[in-house]
Amino acid sequence: MSTENPDIKGKVEESRDNFKKLELLIPGLRGYRQREDVRVADELLRNQMADRLDRARASLESLRRKVVGAGGLLVARPGWLSDIPVAGA
Protein backbone atom coordinates (compact mmCIF):
# COMPACT_ATOMS: atom_id res chain seq x y z
CA MET A 1 0.00 0.00 0.00
CA SER A 2 1.14 3.55 -0.61
CA THR A 3 1.94 6.00 2.17
CA GLU A 4 -1.13 8.01 1.19
CA ASN A 5 -3.34 4.94 1.58
CA PRO A 6 -1.99 3.08 4.62
CA ASP A 7 -3.14 -0.42 5.51
CA ILE A 8 -5.90 0.33 8.00
CA LYS A 9 -6.22 -3.27 9.19
CA GLY A 10 -2.48 -3.32 9.85
CA LYS A 11 -2.73 -0.07 11.82
CA VAL A 12 -5.50 -1.53 13.99
CA GLU A 13 -3.54 -4.72 14.61
CA GLU A 14 -0.39 -2.75 15.48
CA SER A 15 -2.32 -0.62 17.98
CA ARG A 16 -3.38 -3.65 20.07
CA ASP A 17 -1.84 -3.77 23.50
CA ASN A 18 -1.29 -7.04 25.41
CA PHE A 19 -4.75 -6.91 26.99
CA LYS A 20 -6.41 -6.61 23.58
CA LYS A 21 -4.30 -9.49 22.27
CA LEU A 22 -5.41 -11.58 25.26
CA GLU A 23 -9.05 -10.81 24.44
CA LEU A 24 -8.53 -12.49 21.06
CA LEU A 25 -7.56 -15.73 22.82
CA ILE A 26 -10.59 -15.90 25.12
CA PRO A 27 -13.62 -17.39 23.31
CA GLY A 28 -16.22 -15.11 24.94
CA LEU A 29 -14.23 -11.96 24.23
CA ARG A 30 -12.85 -12.77 20.78
CA GLY A 31 -15.98 -11.63 18.92
CA TYR A 32 -16.17 -8.47 21.00
CA ARG A 33 -12.53 -7.59 20.21
CA GLN A 34 -13.02 -8.28 16.51
CA ARG A 35 -16.12 -6.05 16.36
CA GLU A 36 -14.29 -3.32 18.27
CA ASP A 37 -11.39 -3.56 15.82
CA VAL A 38 -13.85 -3.15 12.93
CA ARG A 39 -15.23 -0.01 14.61
CA VAL A 40 -11.73 1.42 15.02
CA ALA A 41 -10.88 0.64 11.38
CA ASP A 42 -14.14 2.24 10.26
CA GLU A 43 -13.35 5.41 12.19
CA LEU A 44 -9.84 5.56 10.71
CA LEU A 45 -11.20 5.11 7.20
CA ARG A 46 -13.91 7.75 7.69
CA ASN A 47 -11.35 10.24 9.01
CA GLN A 48 -9.02 9.48 6.11
CA MET A 49 -11.80 10.00 3.56
CA ALA A 50 -12.96 13.21 5.26
CA ASP A 51 -9.40 14.57 5.07
CA ARG A 52 -9.17 13.72 1.37
CA LEU A 53 -12.53 15.35 0.65
CA ASP A 54 -11.49 18.47 2.55
CA ARG A 55 -8.28 18.72 0.51
CA ALA A 56 -10.21 18.21 -2.75
CA ARG A 57 -12.76 20.86 -1.76
CA ALA A 58 -9.98 23.30 -0.89
CA SER A 59 -8.30 22.64 -4.25
CA LEU A 60 -11.54 23.27 -6.12
CA GLU A 61 -12.17 26.45 -4.17
CA SER A 62 -8.64 27.64 -4.95
CA LEU A 63 -9.19 26.91 -8.63
CA ARG A 64 -12.50 28.78 -8.56
CA ARG A 65 -10.78 31.82 -7.04
CA LYS A 66 -8.08 31.74 -9.72
CA VAL A 67 -10.68 31.55 -12.50
CA VAL A 68 -12.68 34.42 -11.05
CA GLY A 69 -9.51 36.44 -10.46
CA ALA A 70 -8.50 35.96 -14.08
CA GLY A 71 -11.91 37.21 -15.21
CA GLY A 72 -12.86 33.94 -16.87
CA LEU A 73 -16.07 31.92 -16.72
CA LEU A 74 -18.91 34.28 -15.94
CA VAL A 75 -20.71 31.51 -14.03
CA ALA A 76 -17.88 31.23 -11.50
CA ARG A 77 -19.26 32.72 -8.31
CA PRO A 78 -19.49 31.50 -4.71
CA GLY A 79 -21.63 28.40 -4.62
CA TRP A 80 -21.46 27.75 -8.38
CA LEU A 81 -20.62 24.09 -7.86
CA SER A 82 -23.92 23.55 -6.06
CA ASP A 83 -25.77 24.74 -9.20
CA ILE A 84 -24.48 21.79 -11.23
CA PRO A 85 -27.14 19.07 -11.51
CA VAL A 86 -26.19 15.71 -10.03
CA ALA A 87 -27.29 12.51 -11.75
CA GLY A 88 -29.82 10.59 -9.69
CA ALA A 89 -30.59 13.48 -7.37
**Residue 80 phi, psi dihedral angles, 5° rounding:** -65, -30
How confident is residue 1, by pLDDT bands cut at 50, 70 and 90?
A: very low
Pinpoint the alpha helices (H) of the chain.
8-14, 18-25, 27-69
CA distances from 6 to 3, 49, 58 (A): 5, 12, 22
Which has the closest alpha carbon to 35: 24, 26, 45, 49?
Answer: 24
pLDDT value, residue 83:
62
pTM over 0.75: no
pLDDT value, residue 11:
84
> In the 8-state DSSP scheme, what is residue 77?
S
Question: For the segment 2-17, what is each residue's pLDDT rounded down to a tens digit?
Answer: 455 568 878 888 888 8
> In the 8-state DSSP scheme, what is residue 71?
T
Question: For the segment 16-74, what is each residue's pLDDT rounded down to a tens digit?
Answer: 888 888 888 888 888 888 899 999 999 999 999 999 999 999 988 988 888 777 776 65
The residues spanned by each domain of the chain are 8-83
pLDDT value, residue 57:
93
